[in-house]
Structure formats: structure tokens, C-alpha cells
């Protein structure tokens, strides 16, 4: 059972920072909220990648954020089975002219595949944004496919 093994390896589901819920399941999909690199509720990596934050640190931040997102997804499964990650969106708080979004996003993708194996191989979009909530350096959103239990 994928979900059972998983829950031991994941952080607790993140507490929402505003008027939203961490994840919603509808039919055969689960979509998470945007998740930032928080541990015990506190941001671990703030600032702009390529200026305040190195690409290597941003990779670590993306890995933390995606584990939070996966934890949120698992928290709404209610007996359904996580089949695979369908899409991973990675928003990088990046300076103009930054080009290494792929390297940052690979931090999240590698973590997903550590946690889920082949089921973590997702389509992915990475873009650079001006700013993120609370000054986070990266934010991720997961869309997961589920099968009924």
C-alpha cells in the first residue's frame, strides 16, 4: 500500500495560512494548495533565487515544499489510493534573467520520485515569479491522480 508507507515518511499536513484548505479531492483527482518550504510552520528559505538564495538551497527548499504538498494530498485521500502525480507546478521567486528553474524544480521532482517511485514522475511546469507569500523562495502545487479504494 503506497499510502501507508508514505505517511511515515511525510511531514504532518501543513496548516493553511489563509482562507483555503490544504487539498481537495474530487473524483479521481486531488489538487493541493500552493505549498512553500515550511518546517513546523516556519519558512526555511526566504528571498529571491539567484540573489538571496543559491540554486542549491532552492533545490532543498523545493524538496521541502513538495513533501508538504504530498502530505496535504495524502491527508484527503480518505481510503482512495494515490496512483500517480499528474502535474507539478513550481513557482520560483527569481530575479529577472534567471534561467535555472529546471535545476530548482528538479529538487522537487527528485523528492517526489524518492517518495513515490515511478508514480512520482509527473508532467511539470516551472516559471519565475516576482514574489511569493511570506517571501518564500519557491512554491509548488501538486495535481495527483487517485483510484477508488
Binding site for a copy of itself (CB under 8 A): 17-24, 26-29, 31-34, 48, 72, 83-89, 91-92, 94-103, 105-106, 109-110, 113, 121-135, 139, 141, 143, 145
CB of 53 to a copy of itself, least distance (A): 14
CB of 115 to a copy of itself, least distance (A): 13
Contact (Cβ atoms closer than 8 angstroms) between residue 101 and residue 128: yes
Q: Please, which residue, 8 or 134, has the CB nearer to a copy of itself?
A: 134
Q: From residue 10, give the alpha-carbon distance in Å to each of 22, 51, 53.
A: 15, 30, 25
Q: Please, which residue, 21 or 39, has the CB nearer to a copy of itself?
A: 21
Helix, strand, or coil (residue 136): strand
Best CA proximity match to 35, nearest among 7, 11, 4: 11
Q: Please, which residue, 8 or 42, has the CB nearer to a copy of itself?
A: 42
Contact (Cβ atoms closer than 8 angstroms) between residue 120 and residue 10: no
Amino acid at each position: 500500500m503506497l499510502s501507508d508507507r508514505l505517511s511515515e515518511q511525510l511531514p504532518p499536513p501543513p496548516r493553511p495560512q489563509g482562507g483555503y484548505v490544504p487539498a481537495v479531492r474530487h473524483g479521481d483527482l486531488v489538487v493541493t494548495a500552493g505549498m512553500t518550504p515550511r518546517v513546523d510552520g516556519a519558512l526555511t528559505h526566504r528571498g529571491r533565487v539567484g540573489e538571496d538564495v543559491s540554486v542549491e538551497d532552492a533545490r532543498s527548499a523545493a524538496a521541502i515544499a513538495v513533501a508538504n504538498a504530498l502530505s496535504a494530498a495524502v491527508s484527503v485521500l480518505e481510503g482512495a489510493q494515490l496512483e500517480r502525480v499528474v502535474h507539478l507546478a513550481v513557482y520560483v521567486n527569481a530575479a529577472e534573467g534567471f534561467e535555472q528553474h529546471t535545476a530548482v524544480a528538479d529538487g522537487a521532482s527528485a523528492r517526489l520520485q524518492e517518495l513515490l517511485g515511478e508514480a512520482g514522475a509527473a508532467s511539470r511546469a516551472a516559471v519565475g515569479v516576482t514574489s511569493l507569500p511570506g517571501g518564500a523562495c519557491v512554491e509548488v502545487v501538486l495535481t495527483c491522480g487517485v483510484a477508488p479504494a
